[in-house]
Amino acid sequence: MVAKEEDFTGNLKQQLVKLFDASLKLTVPDEPSVKPLVVVGKFEDYQCNNAMGLWSKVKGKGTQFTRPLAVAEALVTNLPTCDMVESCSVAQPGYVNVVLSAQWMAKSIENMLINGIETWAPTLSVKRAVVDFSSPNIAKKMHVGHLRSTIIGDTIARMLEYSNVEVLRRNHVGDWGTQFGMLIEYLFEKFPDSNSAMETAIEDIQSLYKPSKTKFDADLDFKRKAQQAVVRLQGGDPVYHKTWEKLCEISRADYAEIYQRLRVELEEKGESFYKPYIANMIEELNSKGLVEESDGARVMFIKDFKNPCMLVKSDGGFTYDTTDLAALWYRLNEEKAEWIIYVTDAGQQEHFDRFFKAARQVGWLPDNDETYPRVSHVKFGVVKGEDGKRFRNRDREIVPLADLLDEAKTRSKAALIERALAKEKEWTPEELDQTAEAIGYGAVKYADLMNNISTDYKFSYDKMLNDKGNTAVYLLYAHARICSIIKKSGKDIDELKKTGKLTLDHANERALGLHLLQFAETVEEACTKLLPHILCEYLYDLSEHYTKFYSNCQVNGSAEETSRLLLCEATAIVMRKCFHLLGITPVYKI
Ligand code: ARG
């Protein structure tokens, strides 16, 4: 059997899986459910690990095979002939090692150069997804935890968008919780008869939170009033509603500034948006016999969970659980989303586990959590300061995000100026400002994304702004260097793309080429597992492969100049796509 070249989707691993699938069907026709086990190889490019498992399945059942190695040999014999595979070999006890054809690899990279990196986009089986991220709480400060959610959520959304999934980017802001009763009641008490004084006070929303919370915790009478105020607000009382709107508006402007700086797009559908869907949602649960009374409250008990989902409190108020259930109903039924992804700190794990289980109990979601429609909770660790404690400033206060971004930019600007002085380079003020911003903000994002999501990470300007090691600065510089090599050649790279030929003869060229071709399967893995650090690791390895290539293979002025320039360009394109997916603005000059 001969495999056709047009089968190639840009995803090496998938293509090999198809080939080995065909071979398995011929080798063990009685085992149709066996899936190909293809992984990146330890010794060669890829390896297929099916033979050992198959051997234990078929031995003693009158098989023609005498040992696992014989199964591996048969897998090789039955592999369809194709341009992609140069050769296969078997190794004890039954591995199949695959060497790809360098010529075929070169051709695939040439195709990407001509047709664009979009041809390497993963194909996912979902059409529409909701990514629920950032989601700060109105009137409270947006802190580094929300920054983490914003950065991680944006990258997940970008990876899905690249994979041609329609993404609904949702800012599920906390605009409906108990803090409003407290704030509004506090404002009413403080400004009993001056509307305009109250409005001025609201402008400085951040300074309202603390004193009202202190009063809430200390004064029982006030606490009761505040709780009643929430119920009145949730019930639609116009006076409460007006003040609430004003509070939301002010907070919103604060967030908008941060999102604009980070170039993150989000559509606000806050908790209050789902209010009209609550009654029907509760009715549905009730009709299925899932709602119970408990001390005057209406709750839903969930298998294996001690605490129930709180639907209506004894005072008539709704909770975080109520809104999340109504929002899930809306996302599944009105928005027809197949995959709903929530990005929050790991502290909320219990809430999500319970509420997901509730949704399965109602029958909104299938029991198997990998079948669509599907929900996923991306839970991240705490951001710590260099002292290992929660990230705070010197006064142990939460660091406002705007200050944090300013600081990253200022430091990166200072480093750029110093570097320019040493190298006698000139920057225009705009260039300097834009580059400092790209590097500063890029460093903050990358330092966050490069860690495995669930781990806590230490926030350190010095570390993230270092131009050596696994940092955005190092990677952005690497990209700028590649661009300057291409520029120095004086060649029209777009013309070369159309006519030039790429070869991967040198071992370092081949290794770089292979890594470039592994981009598609890497994004697919990072995207389906919801783990952006996989993409960061890939990007860092790419720059390492490039450095080896560049140290050992002369580009400009060599006999292989055209081919090597094309390899440089392909590297720059893949790097830029990685930056794009990580929400980092690339830099072309340093
Ligand atoms: N506002 C919440 C917080 O700051 C996060 C909301 C996450 N999304 C959700 N659908 N529960 O912790």
What are 518-551's pLDDT values in tens digits? 999 999 999 999 999 999 999 999 999 999 999 9
Token readout for 124 is 């996912």
Of ligand 1's listed atoms, the one at least distance from the Cα of 140 is: 4
Model pLDDT, residue 385 = 87
Please give the backbone phi and psi of residue 56, each rounded to the nearest 5 degrees, phi first: -65, -25
524 versus 64: which is more confidently predicted?
A: 524
356 CA to centre of ligand 1 in angstroms: 14
Kindly indicate the confidence band of residue 204, based on its pLDDT and cuts at 50, 70 and 90: confident
Digit-coded pLDDT (tens) for 147-176? 999 999 999 999 999 999 999 999 999 998
Q: Which atom of ligand 1 is nearest to the CA of 327?
A: 10
Give pLDDT tens digits for 227-283.
999 889 888 899 999 999 999 998 898 899 999 999 999 999 999 999 999 999 999
pLDDT at 152: 97
Nearest ligand 1 atom to the CA of 136 is 4
Two structure tokens written together for 569: 């360009």
What pLDDT sits at residue 302?
96
Return the pLDDT at 396: 67
- The ligand 1 atom nearest the CA atom of 145: 4
Q: Which of 138, 141, 172 is the pocket-test mutation for ligand 1 (most atoms within 8 Å of CB)?
A: 172
Nearest residue (CA) to ligand 1, atom 11: 324
Q: Please, where are the H alpha helices in 319-457? A: 320-333, 349-362, 401-423, 429-449
Report which protein residue has its CA nearest ligand 1's atom 5: 135
pLDDT of residue 325: 98
Residue with CA at minimum distance from ligand 1 atom 8? 172
Q: Which of 348, 376, 382, 398 to mutate to test the pocket of ligand 1 (most atoms within 8 A of CB)?
A: 348
Q: How far is the CA of 271 from the centre of ligand 1 (A)?
A: 9
- Written as one letter, the residue type at 436 is A
| pLDDT bucket at 200, cuts 50 / 70 / 90 | confident
Is the pLDDT score of 203 beyond 90? no
Query: Is 34 a residue whose pLDDT tops 60?
Result: yes
Give every CB contact of residue 43 below 8 A, 6+ residues apart in sequence.
Answer: 91, 97
Rounded Cα–Cα distance for residues 97 and 244 (Å): 65
Rounded to the nearest angstrom, the distance between the alpha carbon of 345 and the centre of ligand 1 is: 9
- Best probe residue, ligand 1, of 135, 168, 332 (max atoms within 8 Å of C-beta): 135
Euclidean distance between CA atoms 110 and 55, whole angstroms: 40
Cα separation of the two ends of the chain: 52
- In angstroms, the Cα distances linking 299 to 144, 176, 250, 307, 574 are 33, 19, 34, 9, 51
Percent of the chain with pLDDT over 70: 98
Which residues are CB-contacts of 136 (< 8 A; sequence separation ≥ 6)? 142, 146, 173, 174, 251, 255
Residue type at 66?
Answer: T
Model confidence, pTM: 0.94
Cis amide bond preceding 93, omega within 30 = yes
Q: How many residues does the chain have?
A: 590
CA distance 553 to 573: 20
Residue 325, CA distances (Å) to 44, 113, 331 in order: 50, 46, 10
- Give the sheet arrangement for strand 309-312, strand by strand: 292-294, 297-300, 309-312
Q: Residue 115's Cα: distance from chain center in Å? A: 26
> What is the token pair recorded at 60?
């003693």
Distance between Cα 159 and ligand 1 center (Å): 22
Residue whose entry in the numeric block shows the structure tokens 């661009």? 483
Question: 444 with 404: CB under 8 angstroms?
Answer: yes
Question: How far is ligand 1, taken at its centre, from the CA of residue 311, in Å?
Answer: 17
Distance 578 CA to ligand 1 centre (A): 28
The best mutation among 344, 350, 375 to test binding of ligand 1, ranked by most ligand atoms within 8 Å of the C-beta, falls on 344
Q: Give distance in angstroms: CA of 548 to centre of ligand 1.
A: 45
Residue 3 has pLDDT above 70, yes or no: no
CA distances, 176 to each of 16, 233, 273, 319 (Å): 51, 8, 9, 9
User: Could you tell me the distance, in angstroms and rounded to a whole number, from the CA of residue 43 to the centre of ligand 1?
Assistant: 46
Return the pLDDT at 426. 85
Name the residue at shortest CA distance from atom 6 of ligand 1. Answer: 135
Residue 132: band (very low, low, confident or very high) from pLDDT cuts 50, 70, 90: very high
User: Of the ranges 4-8, 435-439, 531-535, which one carries the lowest mean pLDDT score?
Assistant: 4-8
pLDDT per position as a tens digit, 322-351: 999 999 999 999 999 999 999 999 999 999
Task: Name the token pair of 200.
Answer: 């001025």
Based on C-alpha coordinates, what's the Rg of the chain?
Answer: 29
Q: Report the pLDDT value the prediction gives residue 112, as an integer from 0 to 100.
A: 95
* Helix (H) / strand (E) containing 590: none
Atom 4 in ligand 1: residue holding the nearest Cα: 136
Pocket-forming residues, ligand 1, beta carbon under 6 Å: 132, 135-137, 172, 174, 324, 327, 342, 344
Q: What is the ipTM of this complex?
A: 0.99
Instruction: Enumerate residues 6+ apart whose C-beta is below 8 A from 3.
Output: 18, 19, 22, 80, 81, 82, 84
Task: Write down the mean pLDDT value for the chain.
Answer: 93
Strand partners, 300: 309
- 10 pLDDT exceeds 70? no
Tell me which residue of 307, 300, 308 sits closest to 282, measured CA to CA. 300
Ligand 1 atom showing the smallest separation from residue 352 Cα: 11
Amino acid identity at 518: Q
Residue partners of 392: CB distance under 8 A and separation at least 6: 385, 398, 399
Query: How far away, in angstroms, is 157 Cα from ligand 1 center?
Result: 17
CA-344 nearest atom, ligand 1:
7
Which DSSP symbol is given to 10? S
The 3-class SS string of 239-308 reads HHHHHHHHHHHHHHHHHHHHHHHHCCCCEECCHHHHHHHHHHHHHHHHHCCCCEEECCEEEECCCCCCCC
Question: Mind giving me the DSSP string for 116-184?
Answer: -GGGG----S-SEEEEE----BTTSPP-HHHHHHHHHHHHHHHHHHHTT-EEEEEE--B-SSHHHHHHH
- How far, in Å, CA of 465 to CA of 50, rounded? 45
Structure confidence by residue, pLDDT tens digits, 279-320? 999 999 999 999 999 999 999 999 999 999 999 999 888 999
What is the mean pLDDT of the segment spanning 419-437? 90
CB atoms within 10 A of CB 189: 12
Residue 561 Cα to ligand 1 midpoint, Å, equals 53
Please tell me the distance from the alpha carbon of residue 344 to that of residue 150, in angstroms, as a whole number: 9
Ligand 1 atom closest to 351 (CA): 11
User: 46, 87 in Cβ contact below 8 A?
Assistant: no
Please give the Cα distance from 575 to 588 (Å, whole number). Answer: 12
Helix (H) or strand (E) holding 553: none
User: How far away, in angstroms, is 174 Cα from ligand 1 center?
Assistant: 7
Rounded to the nearest angstrom, the distance between the alpha carbon of 306 and the centre of ligand 1 is: 22
pLDDT at 387: 84
Cα–ligand 1 centroid distance for 132 (angstroms)? 8
Instruction: State how far the alpha carbon of 179 is from the alpha carbons of 155, 205, 222, in Å.
Output: 30, 12, 13
